Structure 1
Amino acid sequence: MKLAGLRIVLVGPLAPPAGGMANQCAQLAALLRAEGASVQQLSLHGCHLPHWLARVRYLRAVLRLPVYLWRLRCAARTADLFHVLANSGWSWHMQAAPALWLASMAGKPALLNYRGGEAGAFFARSARLIGWSLRRASAITVPSGFLAELFARYGHVAHIVPNVIDLQRFAPTSHRVDPHAPVILVARHLQALYDNASAVRAFAIVRASVPGAQLVLAGDGPERGALAQLAQQLGVADGVRFAGHVDNAAMPALYGACTIALNPSLADNMPISVLEALASGVPVVSTDVGGIAALLQHGVTALLVPPGDAPAMARALLSLLRQPQRAQALAHNGLAHVAQFDWRHVAPLLLRHYRRILRAPRPRGYTRLVAHWLFPLHERLKRHNSVRLLRRLERSQWWSAAQLQAWQMQRLRALLAHAARHVPHYRALFARLQLDPAAFRQPADLARLPLLHKADIAAARTSFVSERAIGLRAFATGGSSGEPLQFMLGRRRISHDIAAKWRATRWWGVDIGDREAVLWGSPIELGAQDLLRRWRDRLLRSTLLPAFAMSSARLDGFIAQLRRLRPRMLFGYPSALCRIAAQAGAGGVALDGLGIKVAFVTSERLYDEQRAQIAASFGCPVANGYGGRDAGFIAHECPEGGMHVTAEDVIVEIVDAQGRPLPAGSSGEIVVTHLATRDFPFIRYATGDMGALGQSPCPCGRGLPLLQHIEGRSTDFVTATDGTVMHGLALIYIVRELAGVQSFKIVQESLLRTRVLLVCRSPLETAARAGLAEAFRARLGRDVAIDIEEVAEIAAEASGKYRYVVSKVPLLP
């Protein structure tokens, strides 16, 4: 996403007084404007009062607040998003929280950028009160892992976006430091939190060994008088200089003139002054409080000491003064470390979250009524817990791979233990294999169990039913693989499937209650449209268009209905959407101005040509969804293009022809263990589909693993007479190159016979027919009979799906 034209309201402190957050706010505004964004800065302190009122501490805040709220409301009218820099204490309650509430009420996304060093104590005092406002934020970012872990402890997901340092302004200088008159710089406000008193005491110890040393305190605050008195008592007043407030523009020169930077703080997160010192090539001594230990590595990028320990500070300072080579090594490592805080590295992380919150649904009006009230009520009446599951999924999608795997294993052991005790099939299986569910420690241990095939379930369906099943319903697959299956699902599993799909559609800015057109062909759905369901769909604004016999007249009716509905989302088979797109294109009917945000396709393999055709015709991105009624919602595509596995509910294995697990990146059969199927377990279920797991993370930042590619069902592959197995695309591309072909289907009846069904605008010429047969034989074998049949129409499968290639030749191991 480009920033040009983006209207951002940047809420944060403004100088004066100068400080880390105020400097970051000003710098961020300048950087965003340089990228082409329109930035309006707002601050509680930006509301000016007469001088005599501004001096009254609490009264000034009360008087400024109404003006500040009015400015927020006015800014929200034209803003695209809010970016709120937040600190702890009254700054949060008076400045950050009101901005979040105003943005939420105005329906504008808000990115909360929290950076308070005292966050731990602040949350401990007011976690519930803070949480009310935090939930108004569209996303939360923090500059360090320390704060991310703190937010996680209170149930909030925070993403790390580091502070930004201008490496053009803050850079090493050629200034030569006099070893007999070293300068120690402390660039923190003179407040009790920053413990400048310990710095003065440490300096007194250093001064006893290095009489020419100097201490510069760059900052101001209520502790100045006490610090001056302390320096006088310790006999070092002549070596302590109070620089007062220093404008950020003058700070590079101050760093360039110092020998060591000292950070004596009692609580900290990611102090800008430390980053500026590192960027200036100055060695750093710091207390190891808060996020400092995650920011700096002791003995590598800095020397870390306990807070409030003046003798330890003095020893660290003296070690660097006495060992210039060690100080130089720290400075060198610090320079390399601070490079990651340059805007070039930070900007993509920030823009990723801008993109995400701008895409996220912000339901208003009727959609809000449905998403927040009607649908949750509907789910509660059906005794589904999908609403609670959605909230959990929207947090867990940002977990690390280690967190997701730990969660999977916890649920897997519970599922296996339940199955071994209460499901007859698995009770017998575990007894026969002498396996203990508690012995499963990692997903790879699943290989100790055999694969589960459709034939296994069909042969003894009742043995898969748990003795403690709740709310079981009968379901069946459409049989597009040639092997239909009847099975049972409980309320738990259905709730998980609803939540998984709901989360995926929200990635694209679509929520429950937005108008949706569903092109579906399953007799199960179509046969269940009784009066109650029709009223439910009307309330939820979901319209079902049957994707069975899609005649020209029916397609024209669908097109008219879509133009009348103007849905926010399309959901259905890619082949059905392509047929509508082709019909509209042939009739010169435009569908790209209906306001459709996404076309979600599923149940068939999505080909590149189909994606391009659907996107061009409907004027929207295409999102692929992979799964089935039996295996569940396995993976969904995010706006960055990653096919994310629903890892909280599903463990995906890729296995070879012998059922042995393959590493990420290797193609094989997709095997699924659904963790929410206690009532009718699907454990190591062989889907019959082929694919591979991804090896690299998705740019969107979600921790969910990826399916690198999905190659379709094993029956979508054809076998040549010499045993070579190839994907059906090898034959599809041949047919697609023929002029005048409207639709087609390829059926490999045996190794020596393949049928090609064609719907043509005009009869196929003899030369074209011969060329097609020759091209097929070149791939399948010279002795293969190619039967080319021109037909009026190609019927869909029983499920309503369309399959381009069907092979009846079993794949050999």
Structure 2
Amino acid sequence: MISLFDITLRLNGFPIKEAKAELQKIVNLSEQEYVLFLEKKKKEIVDFHLENNPFYSQLAGNSTAKSWEELPILNKQNLQKPLEERLSKGYSKKTVYLNKTSGSSGTPFVFAKDKYSHALTWASNIMRFGWFGIDFNHSYQARFYGIPMDFIGYQKERFKDFLSGRFRFPVFDLSDAILEKFLKKFRTKKFDYINGYTSSIVLFAKYLEKKNIVLKDICPTLKACFVTSEMLFESDKKLLEKQFGIPIINEYGASELDLIAFENPKGEWQVNAETLFVEILDENNNPVPHGTEGKIVITSLFNKANPFIRYEIGDIGILDEKSTPQKPILKKLIGRTNDVAVLPSGKKSPGLTFYYVTKSIIEDDGNVKEFIIKQTKLDTFEIEYISENELVSEQIQKIKEAIDLYLEPNLIFTFTRKTVLARTNRGKLKQFKSYL
């Protein structure tokens, strides 16, 4: 079988062979060599953008002598201006890889990567998937993702899927009738792995559970399942392992950067230290000790087309105490900074807290398939859910008691049963949203 994937990258001007060789070199560095490599790359990328990127040099106040800690923290708002104003000298829209962020943080923007740094992104993906016996040139992917709904966009995406050795399961409608069609495909096609949005893959697993089917039994070629873009809860991971019969691997990435962290075969969430530099900072932008939560700030070490230097991605996380510069381990991803509920008492609670509370109670009998929580006022929350049967007053009472306990008393909750929940235009399910 020819290496269609690598060939497609090369034809599009992405030097994948060189990128794979460079990545291999970085991986083989000793601990001491790596520390020197990191300092060198940080200095190189800052100097390059101060010199060749007017947008960045203006933001950084033109000084080349700045220490790392004095460099500005870049946020998504900074980047919401026309791309032409942010491109480095020597790059144009025609000579770079262009894309836009998903907007799941509520702040979408267009970004560019130079072709070499994008090739490195692919080399890094190829290496990490390779840890689990997946080869992009030969492995067949079952892809749970959104898809453009306009005719040309739809056909283009399907053609890209064909070239990339994947079959797409669009996630906008996940009714039982559609999930039954998904199941049929697994009976007839020899998929090697599953990749896609957590929430839709979890729904598929719940459907399998109801039908008492283990996916590996009907599709024996399956080796692994990679979930991305949304939180994977421990209980969901257990469900996936049980219904799929294969390893479930958690990845965390951002389209404008790279894969940020990827579960390694030891079950650790290993941070990508080859193409990125990840910092965890407090409110005042000072680094916090390992084991302490803070905002995740990321530097892309190779992207010359667009500066992503000390870029605040909008997530909160914790690096493990056993992290080293060469092998940082993400202990916990707590969620997005904009998904925090402010309560009447002044207490702040990550939106995920509600999710955990309601999830633990709702999930007992498998009646509720999915739900989202919206904060409409300081003390008022709406829970929209999809279920076989309407929630009964005892269940609602139990949820209220748990919320009193975990959050605070006297909050007002309304429950609305829906046939379908709103997803983003990419097909992501936004679990908690504050409208304050």
- When normalised by structure 1's length, the TM-score is 0.50
What whole-Å deviation, never above 9, does each CA across 1:612-671 have from its counterpart, x for those lacking one?
Answer: 111111111111111111232212111101222221210101111232221222111111
- 1:732-790 CA-to-partner distances (Å, cap 9, x unmatched) read 23323134322211112232211111223222222332332343244443343212222
CA distance in 2: counterparts of 1:524 and 1:417, whole angstroms: 43
Are 2:44 and 1:414 equivalent residues in the alignment?
Answer: yes
Q: For 1:574-618, what per-residue CA distance to the aligned partner results, in whole angstroms no more than 9, with x for missing partners?
A: 111111111222234431222311111111111111211111111
Please list the CA deviations of residues 366-422 of structure 1 after superposition, one character each: whole Å capped at 9, or x if unmatched: 3xx32xxx3333222112122332233234334344322221222222211211111
Using a 3 Å threshold, how does the CA distance of structure 1 residues 551 and 527 change in structure 2: closer, same or farther?
farther
**Does structure 1 residue 648 correspond to structure 2 residue 281?**
no
Kindly tell me: are residues 712 and 400 of structure 1, through their superposed partners in 2, closer, same or farther at Cα, counting changes over 3 Å? farther
> In structure 2, what is the equivalent of residue 673 of structure 1?
299
Match of 2:88 in 1: 466
Aligned to 2:416: 789
Alignment match of 1:754 (pick from 372, 381, 386): 381
Of 515, 521, 524 in structure 1, the residue corresponding to residue 146 of structure 2 is: 521
Tell me the amino acid that sits aligned with residue 57 of structure 2.
R
**1:763 has 2:387 as partner:** no
CA contact (8 A) 1:776 1:786 kept: no
Structure 1 residue 499: Cα displacement: 1.0
Partner of 1:450: 72
For residues 580 and 714 of structure 1, do their structure 2 counterparts lie closer, same or farther at Cα, with a shift above 3 Å needed?
same
C-alpha contact 1:575 1:610 (8 A) present in aligned 2: no
Residue matched to 1:567: 191
Structure 1 residues 708 and 588, CA gap change in structure 2 (3 angstroms): closer
Deviations along 1:26-47, whole A, 9 cap, x unmatched?
Answer: xxxxxxxxxxxxxxxxxxxxxx
Q: Are 1:621 and 2:247 an aligned pair? A: yes
Compared CA separation, residues 544 and 764, structure 1 to 2 (3 A): closer
- Which protein is bigger by CA-based radius of gyration? 1
Tell me what 1:541 maps to.
Answer: 165
How far apart are the structure 2 equivalents of 1:399 and 1:808? 48
**Structure 1 residues 549 and 535: alpha-carbon distance in aligned structure 2, compared to 1, 3 A threshold:** closer
Would you say the 8 A contact 1:721–1:780 is kept in 2? Answer: no
Task: Return the alpha-carbon distance in structure 1 between the equivalents of residues 152 and 273 of structure 2.
Answer: 32
Kept after mapping to 1: 8 A contact 2:26/2:274: yes
Q: Where in structure 2 are there 5+ consecutive unaligned residues?
A: none
2:360 corresponds to 1:730: no
CA distance in 1, matches of 2:268, 2:151: 32
Of 48, 55, 63, the match for 1:425 = 55
Q: CA RMSD in A?
A: 2.5
1:683 equivalent among 306, 309, 315: 309
Structure 1 SS opposite 2:209: helix
Matches of 1:742 and 1:776, distance apart in 2 = 20
Paired residues of 2:140 and 2:192 also in contact (CA < 8 A): yes
Q: Structure 1 528/393 Cα, relative in aligned 2: closer, same or farther at 3 Å?
A: farther
Q: For residue 381 of structure 2, give the secondary structure of its aligned residue in structure 1.
A: strand
The aligned residue for residue 798 of structure 1 is 425
Q: CA deviation at 1:724?
A: 2.7
Deviation at 1:468, TM superposition (A): 1.3
Counterpart code for 1:387 = K
Q: For residue 394 of structure 1, give the secondary structure of its aligned residue in structure 2.
A: helix
| Cα distance in 1 for residues equivalent to 2:394 and 2:164 | 54
> Which one scores higher on RCO, CA 8 angstroms, separation ≥ 6?
2
Which whole-Å deviations, capped at 9, do the CAs of 1:649-707 have from their partners, x for residues lacking one?
Answer: 10101111232221222111111111121101111111111111222159xxx943221
Q: Please give the secondary structure, in 1, of the residue aligned with 2:373.
A: strand
Q: 2:290 aligns with which of 645, 664, 686?
A: 664
Report how many aligned residue pairs link the two structures: 427
Query: What is the aligned counterpart of 1:637 among 259, 263, 270?
Result: 263
Aligned match of 1:584: 208
Letter in 2 for 1:717: V
Q: Using a 3 Å threshold, how does the CA distance of structure 1 residues 767 and 583 change in structure 2: closer, same or farther?
A: closer
Structure 1 counterpart SS, 2:191? coil
Contact preservation (8 Å) 1:394, 1:503: no
Q: Secondary structure of the equivalent of 1:384?
A: coil
**Distance verdict in 2 for CA 1:525–1:631, change over 3 Å:** farther
Match of 1:130 in 2: none
Q: Does 1:382 align with 2:6?
A: no
8 Å CA contact 2:357, 2:406 repeated in 1: no
The 1:791/1:609 distance shift into structure 2, 3 A limit, reads same
User: What is the CA–CA distance in structure 1 between the aligned matches of 2:140 and 2:410, rounded to whole Å?
Assistant: 54
TM-score for both structures, normalised by structure 2: 0.90
What amino acid is the match of 1:726?
A: S
2:116 maps to a residue whose letter is R
Match of 1:233 in 2: none
Alignment of 1:239-254 (within 5 A): none
| Structure 2 match to 1:277 | none
2-side partners of 1:515 and 1:487: how far apart? 29
Secondary structure (helix, strand or coil) at the match of 1:500 reads helix
Whole-angstrom CA distance in 1 between matches of 2:59 and 2:291: 31
Q: Residues 569 and 725 from structure 1, CA distance in 2 versus in 1: closer, same or farther, beyond 3 angstroms?
A: same
- Give % identity: 25
Name the structure with the higher strand share.
2
